[in-house]
Structure 1
Amino acid sequence: MILTTSRKPSQRTRSFARDLERTLNIPYVQRGKLSLKEIFEIDKHVLLIGEFKANPGTLVVYDVENEKRLSSFISVKLQREICGEKIYNDDGIRIKISRELKDNEEFQKYYEIYDEFLFQHLNINEDSDITLRLEKDPKYLFAIQFYKGRVKIGPLIRIKSIKLFDSLL
């Protein structure tokens, strides 16, 4: 899986992309003049950060092999806004679900979608110091928060809505 942005991302979107690159330990490809078709030739699983009013506003996960995409409207907080420093991960990531969400049937549907499109393509390591934790959020469907041990390190991604498409574009 690779990570990229819209063609001319704002500074905040680039910062968010770098935060995800560091915490998820996946390569960030600067888009520049590359078309989506050229990006799809680099990797068959692409995580694209889209913008809304110069802020990260969408996460789109492309599954080129199956010609599907998952689009989520998001709200974010950057690493520097949460812990004030850059945290690097070279060890894979653990995925945990909060107690409030474990028994929630509606959340289970969202989890299965994210697992198919995103989580299965990450370097999962149950012994990792870095944890991707899915948490309940009162205003949103759910939130994704990153921890190192018990300390929040960010970024925080709040998922507002999810849509599945049977086409790449």
Structure 2
Amino acid sequence: MPGVLITTSHKPSQRTRSFIKDLANTLPFSKHVNRGKKTIEELGLEAYRDKKQYIFIVGERKGNPSIIKIYRVYLDEKPPKTKHVATIIIKGVNLTRENPDASRAYNPETITIDYNACIKDECYKLADILIKIFHETISDKADVIIKLEETKKFIIIKPLNRLGKPCGPIIRVIGVKIHV
């Protein structure tokens, strides 16, 4: 099953490391790795070895996660090529440990993207990206439901478990860029 390799920019803060760990526990077939001094090509090789089609690189500003760069790994090419496909600009995050109502999703295998509350194009763009990444694991009776909600200033990504309780980091997004 293709999934996501999640890592950070070089020299991440503890909060960013906690965020990628939370994200990896929430998204199906995803794995978090320590970046160290690895280049994008080396991350592509690691994703190829683990049969992951996408790489999320979380960048930070002032010690907090501020951007997620999404790279596509072409597994059929040798050596595997990586292409920057999208960027998600983050306003802020609430980690699972900061939310008293949150529980943990254990080894999720299926996901649903709930974008019924979307009104603006930005929210639909984000939903399209998530659907493209997780198209093979989307199910009606999913282990994790990614609920997209809009406010005046940003889009909220809220992962919920089957019971409707938060089960991962809540992410406030202020921008989505798709790179062709």
Q: Which one of 131, 138, 141 corresponds to residue 115 of structure 1? A: 131
CA apart distance, 1:27: 0.7
Give the aligned partner of residue 100 of structure 2: 83
Question: What is the TM-score when the length of structure 2 is the normalising length?
Answer: 0.78
Q: Per the alignment, do residues 112 and 105 of structure 1 end up closer, same or farther by CA in structure 2, a change over 3 Å counting?
A: same
Describe the shift of the 1:162–1:154 C-alpha distance in structure 2 as closer, same or farther (beyond 3 A): same
Q: Does 1:3 align with 2:17?
A: no
Residue deviations 1:14-50 (CA, integer Å, cap 9, x gap)? 0000101111141111111211110011224201111
1:60–1:120 distance in 2 versus 1, CA, 3 Å: farther
> Which amino acid letter does the alignment assign opposite residue 8 of structure 2?
T
Q: 1:95 aligns with which of 103, 108, 112?
A: 112
The alignment partner of 1:71 has SS state of strand
Please give the TM-score of this superposition, normalised by the length of structure 1.
0.82
Determine which structure has the larger helix proportion and give its number: 1
Note if 1:35 corresponds to 2:51: no
Q: Distance in 2 between matches of 1:119 and 1:22?
A: 15
Match of 1:143 in 2: 156
CA distance in 2, matches of 1:20, 1:111: 17
Instruction: Determine the C-alpha separation between the residues in 2 that align with 1:13 and 1:86.
Output: 20
Partner letter of residue 143 of structure 2? Answer: D
Aligned length, in residue pairs: 161
Counterpart code for 2:158 = Q
Say yes or no: does 1:55 pair with 2:64.
Answer: yes
Residue segments in structure 1 that go unaligned for 5+ positions in a row? none
Q: For 1:126, what is the secondary structure of its paired residue? A: coil
Letter in 1 for 2:108: D
Calculate percent identity across the aligned residue pairs.
Answer: 29
1:94 Cα deviation after fit: 2.6
